[in-house]
Amino acid sequence: MHERETEFIKEDPWRVFRIMSEFVSAFETMAQVGSAVTVFGSARTKPQDHYYKTAVALSRQLAQHGLATITGGGPGIMAAANQGAAQAKAKSVGLNIELPFEQQPNRYANVPIDFHYFFSRKVCFVKYSVGFVFMPGGYGTLDEFFELLTLVQTQRIPRYPLILFGKKYWSGLRRWMDRTLEAGGFISPGDRDLVTVTEEVPHAVEIILDHLRRIGPPPGLSMGVG
């Protein structure tokens, strides 16, 4: 028998049980969180950075409207968003991924969950969020943005708010999407409207609250608005 086939028989079927265990454990915990907003962004952003401070303010304001914050659980923007939620006495979820470098759990996540697999972690971002904010970030942030944009565009998930935070940072990507993707017919004309770009925390919060007003808050969610 080929060595690769032997490896599959010995290891891969058992790997399914590890994946199942990861999902079951995460689902049991996340089901208790309530409605939340996921904030993505760079793990390398420092506390003195403008967007770090902005992420703290954003999650703090979301907490004032009864919304928990979910992040990837690591440093940088993720720590900032978890910090703001924790300071506001809200649920602050950190979905940490095991990596050989860079990613260490931050101390502000009061609902920490560890993942071995990226795909099971991504499911939890999507399944338990009512909106998504993308702060400036690298490959990971772009991966999460385009995956969620694809899910909304293909109607695999509802049309949740997808908010790009930071006009200067995202302007080049937006121009490319308009001039190359839309102009070339690779996306439909209305697809660009699936995303909102902003620079203001109140604007981002209002987009999410407006979405909740239109669809109705899920059971147990207090929006904190009249």
Range of the domain at 46: 3-215
Q: Is residue 225, in this structure, part of any structural domain at all?
A: no
Phi, psi for 21 (deg, rounded to 5): -60, -40
* Structural domain count of the chain: 1
- 200 and 206 in contact (C-beta within 8 Å)? no
Phi/psi-derived region of residue 163, left when phi > 0, alpha when psi is between -120 and 50, beta in every other case: beta
CB under 8 Å to 116, separation ≥6 — which residues? Answer: 18, 22, 97, 98
State pLDDT tens for residues 78-132.
999 999 999 999 999 999 987 766 557 899 999 999 998 999 999 999 999 999 9
Convert the pLDDT of each residue in 169-220 to its tens digit: 999 999 999 999 999 999 998 899 999 999 999 999 999 999 999 887 554 4
Task: Report yes or no on 180 lying in a domain.
Answer: yes
Cα Rg of the chain, angstroms: 18
In a domain, 224, yes or no: no
Which residues are within 8 A (CB) of 31 and not within 5 positions of it... i.e. 6 or more apart? none
Q: Within a domain: residue 49?
A: yes
Q: How far apart are CA 120 and CA 154, in angstroms?
A: 20
Q: Which helix (H) or strand (E) holds 203?
A: helix 201-215
* CATH code of the domain in which 133 resides: 3.40.50.450
pLDDT bin (cut points 50, 70, 90) of residue 2 is low
Q: Is residue 222 part of a domain?
A: no
In a domain, 221, yes or no: no
Q: With contact defined as beta carbons under 8 Å apart, do 206 and 214 qualify? A: no
In sequence order, the β-bridge partners of residue 70 are 38, 93
Its pTM surpasses 0.85: yes
Q: Does 220 map to a domain?
A: no
Residue 199 domain-assigned? yes
Task: Give CA–CA dist 141/15, Å, rounded.
Answer: 27
Q: Which two tokens mark 194?
A: 């699936």
Residue 42: other Cβ atoms inside 10 A: 21
| pLDDT score of 215 | 82
